[in-house]
Amino acid sequence: MASLVIKDLRKAFNVGGKPVQVLNNISLNIDKGEFISIVGHSGCGKSTILKIVAGLVDFSEGQVHLGGKPIEGPGPERGMVFQDHRLLPWLTVHENIAFGLYEYRGKELNAVINAHIKLVALSGFENAYPHQLSGGMAQRAAIARALVHNPDVLLLDEPFGALDALTRIQLQQEVLRIWEQEKTTMILVTHDIDEAIYLSDRVVVLSNRPAKIQKIVEVKLPRPRDRTSYDFSLIRKSVYREFFDEQKENAVLEYFL
């Protein structure tokens, strides 16, 4: 049974007094513990889907259910990590992770927070402030803050987009390690197709706005994955083909292969 069910989802925004259709008839079933990536052109509605699942944005039509219950607003069963870490600058790492965590007290609270600091490999930086952290470390703290409520689904909205290439790869590996350890359902929005293939069980390709699901590519490669392998390149080719017309396709695919 699917953990998250999105059915016939439509969303329009009011822009200058006129409705602009962003999402058109999106339907997707995501199993518990699955890692899904969503890719598509800028502005096609990828992040809007995440925000709807997070309960931050209303939708125009359709249904969104988590564990059989309709999503009607934000809730602790859904954690979200944004492109920028959004840590509170006047709080330490420990205090940022503790912020909004009301179900624990005293020693139990500290034990939960310290366990998540260890989970994201930030032990020793409990008392550091955001300005004292690197970009990758700040994003780790943001991931810990999202996971501390033990959510059923972790939503990742281009969390590696502002990082340099090496830090990005390191953080991808950290997220994969956390996913394998915690078995949390994860949904990643990214512009990086290699990243999507490296991390995901399935890659959902969206069309231009108003977005519909153009193709779902299954990634049946063993982990850890080799980005330079022939099988990896075949999946990359399958995804890239969805973004380019036939006149451009051969040149683009030749470059990436």
Give pLDDT tens digits for 93-136: 999 999 877 666 677 888 989 999 999 999 999 999 999 999 99
pLDDT at 105: 65
Cα–Cα distance for residue pair 58/75, rounded to 1 Å: 14
Q: How far apart are CA 172 and CA 109, in angstroms?
A: 28
CA 252 from chain centre, in angstroms, equals: 26
Q: What is the mean pLDDT of the chain?
A: 90
Do residues 240 and 252 make contact, with C-beta atoms less than 8 angstroms apart? Answer: yes
Distance of alpha carbon 168 from alpha carbon 112, whole angstroms: 27
- pLDDT for residue 247 is more than 70: no
The widest CA-to-CA distance across the chain, in whole angstroms, is: 64
Q: Where is pLDDT greater, at 36 or 44? A: 36
pLDDT at 14: 87
Question: Sorting pLDDT into bands at 50, 70 and 90, what band is 183?
Answer: very high
- Fold (CATH) for 2-77+153-228: Rossmann fold (3.40.50)
Domain boundaries, the chain: 2-77+153-228, 89-150
pLDDT tens readout for residues 43-101: 889 999 999 999 999 998 999 999 999 998 999 899 999 988 999 999 999 999 998 77
Neighbour tally for 77: CB within 10 Å: 15
SS3 assignment for the chain: CEEEEEEEEEEEEEECCEEEEEEEEEEEEEECCCEEEEECCCCCCHHHHHHHHHCCCCCCEEEEEECCEECCCCCCCEEEECCCCCCCCCCCHHHHHHCCCCCCCHHHHHHHHHHHHHHCCCCCCCCCCHHHCCHHHHHHHHHHHHHCCCCCEEEEECCCCCCCHHHHHHHHHHHHHHHHHHCCEEEEECCCHHHHHHHCCEEEEECCCCECEEEEEECCCCCCCCCCCHHHHHHHHHHHCCCCCHHHHHHHHHHHC
